[in-house]
Structure 1
Amino acid sequence: MSETYSDQHLRDILRATTSVAVVGVSANSVRPSYFVARYLSIKGFKVYPVNPVYEGQKLFGAPVVASLADLPVPVDMVDVFRRSDAAGEVVDEALEALPDLKTIWMQIGVTHPEAAAKARARGVTVVQDRCPKIEYQRLFGELRMGGFNTGIISSKL
């Protein structure tokens, strides 16, 4: 069963986040991990791609690193584009490598209750089974332009 998050909670996370490590990012522009990372970079987030397959390549203005421990700077959020059964390892690595981490965000279809509990016990906010791109678009009025009813009332046209 999916957790529920208030719109204000998700909005607060997205407003407080300036840098995101995208674990499992692809260099293939038709893969969801690529266009989510690209979108976040376009919206002003500093995106750090993490995937050992593409190590050394550049994506979104930053070199791809093999692991979270290889990040050149701390990040606010880790966005997990890995299967649920691998999410626990990613969370463990994030908690070890990034002591000031604020948020772990697991993508749509990705949940790991034990890892989420461990992160929360360390004071890290966790979002599971959601996409920051979709939530950003929904919460900041961009989906409305595509004809989607976001459930948010706004005076924007």
Structure 2
Amino acid sequence: MAFENPSRDRIKELLRETKTIAVVGLSDKPDRTSYMVSQAMQQKGYRIIPVNPTVQSVLGEKSYPSLEQIDEPVDIVNVFRRSEETVSVAEAATRMKHKPKAFWLQQGIYNEEAAALVRAEGIEAVMDRCIKVEDSILQPHK
């Protein structure tokens, strides 16, 4: 059976329940999409936890080298990596100390194997959707 994203109603509910988003591949360069999207989400009240082994901090938050090193609850793992690199990120998400509610691949990123891995662990999967756009369209906090 082909992958289907959760319904718009479910995505709205997921975003409404979300407080903390771990962003894999978050760049500290303001001209990068990952930075712009994460900054916008932070401005909307979400806590952003950068996951990038090459930077110390981004957007005023300590950066972690890997998902497994985050020791606090994360609601969504938001991924800015190439599609072919997402299986290892999905595996890391399943090994986190606190299991996230969702594994979110940004617009243009799609990997059914990664989605199947997280779903097998009870983690929802969203693929090929921009979290900032979904949040803006669905306005879960109103």
With the length of structure 1 as denominator, give the TM-score of the two structures.
0.82
Matches of 1:35 and 1:48 in 2, distance apart? 14
Gaps of 5+ in 2: none
Tell me by how many angstroms 1:61 deviates: 2.5
Task: List aligned pairs for 1:1-150, cutoff 5 A.
Answer: 3-54=4-55, 56=56, 58-140=57-139
Tell me by how many angstroms 1:62 deviates: 1.1
Q: Number of residue pairs matched? A: 140
Matches of 1:9 and 1:122 in 2, distance apart? 18
| Rg larger in structure | 1
Tell me by how many angstroms 1:122 deviates: 1.1
Matches of 1:138 and 1:72 in 2, distance apart? 31
Runs (4+) of structure 1 exceeding 6 A deviation are: none
Q: CA RMSD in A?
A: 1.9
Superposed CA offset, 1:12-68 (max 9, x none):
1111111000000111111100011111111111100011111x2x22231111111
Matches of 1:113 and 1:98 in 2, distance apart? 24
- Output the amino acid matched with 2:99: D
SS in 2 for 1:133: helix
Tell me by how many angstroms 1:69 deviates: 1.6
Tell me by how many angstroms 1:5 deviates: 3.9
Matches of 1:44 and 1:63 in 2, distance apart? 17
CA contact (8 A) 1:22 1:78 kept: yes
Gaps of 5+ in 1: 142-157
